[in-house]
Structure 1
């Protein structure tokens, strides 16, 4: 067992009763399904509190959270968030912010106190938690958790007692804001049973949940990090989904909405199960096509990997996979962020600020190298991923026609390392095209690759040129031999990108 950590905010919600432990009558820790270790009935408010806090050190908290992650998924409602959910989640989230800041302040306090006297080492850091100062910080964290949970519980009670016949749905603006929260800290929201954690669901163009009454060809659009199904602008006539519907009126276009702060592999598992449920409930579905932007393409690949591994029937119905600017081999900005965090962590008296980097979601961390399998992170301590050369290769499934789209900020073709590295400002051209010198190369035929010049990362969703190319691939549906063709290079017809891509 690894050295236990005392980062209590990474535990599930302290008032939630579905995570599984309690203190016995003798003050010892006993694991019991259905009871949380820090419950109001078992946690004293005075001297014995310090004893119980110190006993938490005997647990590997990271391991506990991993064991309970699947159960946490089950607590998320499979319906859209209401306005009541939004305010309830904000109340808890505001308090959790205080807890996180307390954690950073304590880390800096430890370092300032221990480093000058040469005691900034493992043994003294462990002893710190048993000392008066460490216990005071622990008490502050516990009180803030309790206050936040009580506030959230009050809002939940009010919401349940309201005489409204139906919950008021979120406006489009608040919905987009909630998805941003999920992208930045989605795994924390799930671990704390926060009502802001959004479920994975499928919408139609009108914003209605669609899980039944489907047949024929289904085309699913998957959004990227911090975005939502609304990012595709399904209600607009010049959107990608609308263009696909016009070209193939017999097909049904659906939009995946999910928590982009979760591990990509966990989203992959969940997406695979969702698609299998979709096929089970709609046996007349003949074909499934998936278009993923950025992280959405990685989630789709992860779902295909686990669907094939579990021998699920839905995989056999997948015809086309198209990814738009997906970081198949990682995103440059996340790598830079990790390097900065690593440098800060080695600077005396400033290393505690590296905890700020730990607040970013696991989904963002997975983008560092494009990790889409559980094996890329499950064996590691904390919230990390395997180095690029050690991540597990994930081949594309046979029988699925795969197309990769990349973009570059420059408006004319210029083949250089700088152009490739800069890419669309977030993802390099090579990463978006799945190209690698080693075993991670995805071996997509050249005719199945397209580079769009003068388009940034977000522009891939709205670009007319990209839209027309995706529609062409889907409409052709494997009839033409694209594999024998050369790579597609698309250039703007004028310097006015706004006009050209509108």
Structure 2
């Protein structure tokens, strides 16, 4: 087989600026000119599986048959087609567009393209980094109005960290104003900043990067008095990882951090990732489904870290396997003693209608116990007091980060009002959204 085409060496974007329209075109051009070993490995596995199953022969004989004249010529034909239409036609067309429209390097991506790229990074962002592909998202802070943070900031700073395959734009929607708006309304001297990052990277790698970014932020802005971290889903784990390495590396920002809020974060793993891992493990035992087993394995290292909620480098750096049995081998990552930690969980259960199935799936992705940091092993239990926990019934994983009830609770936690003693009760509240909405609907129908 001909040698693989090397990376395009005349174009590279390695700075802290978000991808432009030109980066998007060049990124796809690089994908077309860099045939992945995974693609050829998958094609090889498909052929081996089909031959061994249909001809009732073992894998070694199937592989010898693959090296026969007809199949060998077929492989060459597939390679030539990919090279001809990908490397020699489509990629040059994309680069031809860049040459004729150089202003695309200064054009930002549309919101839809940004969201699509965030999803791609969640699935394959680690691969983009490995290939030095400009599709890889850098870690960038945005202000409350969607612009890259550049000006001076001071006072109390709140950093929002999104979850897997999401972006900084996911903290509000058309129906709710979002947590940032609620917090901004509490006092004048505070700042909301929104992190955007490559969620396909290792959580611990993003944690280290966030720690370094926050250190740079306070060095450029000495008037910052305190830092609060709010993370949704994977974002909560990235915040915990940043605190872990901020303490370990003696970062100055660490001592200015005051509050950590995790919303639907899988502190002890996400059931869906473990299900995918078990499915991947079981599929290889049945004929003609090894192909699906390898397809299931096409997921980023960031997703793999969600299996048990890994936030440290040594949770994964000595483990080379992706396929096969692997137990929870995490190392403890206790919360800093000076940080006020608050945990929010969602569940599709209703307060008056509870089932074992809904209890397991939690908010569809994360169970209540995992989101609340509760673990039978004391080494992993986050030991957050009950007054700093809240469970929202009838609220799923994809709306919990901007729901008005969650925003209200977080506001009460971060900005307590001593003149309202009843707030102490609200710290322990459980919002039964599903039953409330159902009863309200029935009342409206009765009035009609």
TM-score scaled to structure 2, two decimals? 0.84
Residue aligning to 2:429: 488
Counterpart CA distance in 2 for 1:152 and 1:324 is 42
- Is 1:78 aligned with 2:19? no
Select 1:336's aligned residue among 272, 275, 280: 275
Deviates more, 1:318-327 or 1:213-222: 213-222
Q: Does the 8 Å CA contact 1:198/1:258 hold for their aligned counterparts?
A: yes
How far apart are 1:446 and its partner, in Å?
A: 0.9
Q: Which residue of 1 aligns with 2:156?
A: 217
Per the alignment, in what secondary structure is the counterpart of residue 189 of structure 1? helix
Q: Could you tell me how far 1:168 is from its partner in structure 2?
A: 1.3
Counterpart residue number, 1:39: none
Partner of 2:210: 271
**d(CA) in 2 for partners of 1:136, 1:313:** 60
Relative contact order (C-alpha < 8 Å, sep 6+): which is higher? 2
Residue 15 in structure 1 maps to residue 15 in structure 2: no
The aligned counterpart of 2:399 is 459
Tell me how far 1:236 sits from its aligned partner: 8.5
Cα deviation, residue 269, structure 1: 1.2
Contact 2:138 2:197 in 1 (8 A): yes
- Mapped pair 1:426 → 2:365: yes
Identify the range of structure 1 (418-427 vs 137-146) with the bigger mean alpha-carbon deviation. Answer: 137-146
Question: 1:158 deviation in Å?
Answer: 5.0
Shift of 1:332: 1.0
- Paired residue secondary structure (2:317): coil
User: Which of 450, 453, 463 is residue 390 of structure 2 equivalent to?
Assistant: 450
- Is the 8 Å Cα contact of residues 14 and 149 (structure 1) preserved in structure 2? no
Gap change, CA 1:396 and 1:478, over 3 Å in 2 = farther
> Which runs of no fewer than 5 residues in structure 1 stay unpaired?
1-7, 19-73
Pick closer, same or farther for the CA change 1:365–1:255 going to 2, 3 Å: same
Q: Which moved more, 1:235-244 or 1:345-354?
A: 235-244
Paired with 2:210 and 2:66, the residues of 1 have a C-alpha distance of 41
Q: What is the aligned residue count? A: 432
Q: Which of 359, 370, 381 is matched with 1:441 structurally?
A: 381
Question: Residues 408 and 435 (structure 1 numbering): CA distance in 2 closer, same or farther, change over 3 Å?
Answer: same
Name whichever of 352-361 and 219-228 sits farther off.
352-361
In the alignment, is the contact (CA less than 8 A) between 2:32 and 2:91 conserved in 1? no
Greater shift, 263-272 or 80-89, is seen at 80-89
The CA distance in 1 between the partners of 2:100 and 2:209, in whole Å, is: 32
Among 100, 110, 115, the residue aligned to 2:48: 110
The alignment yields a C-alpha RMSD, in angstroms, of: 3.7
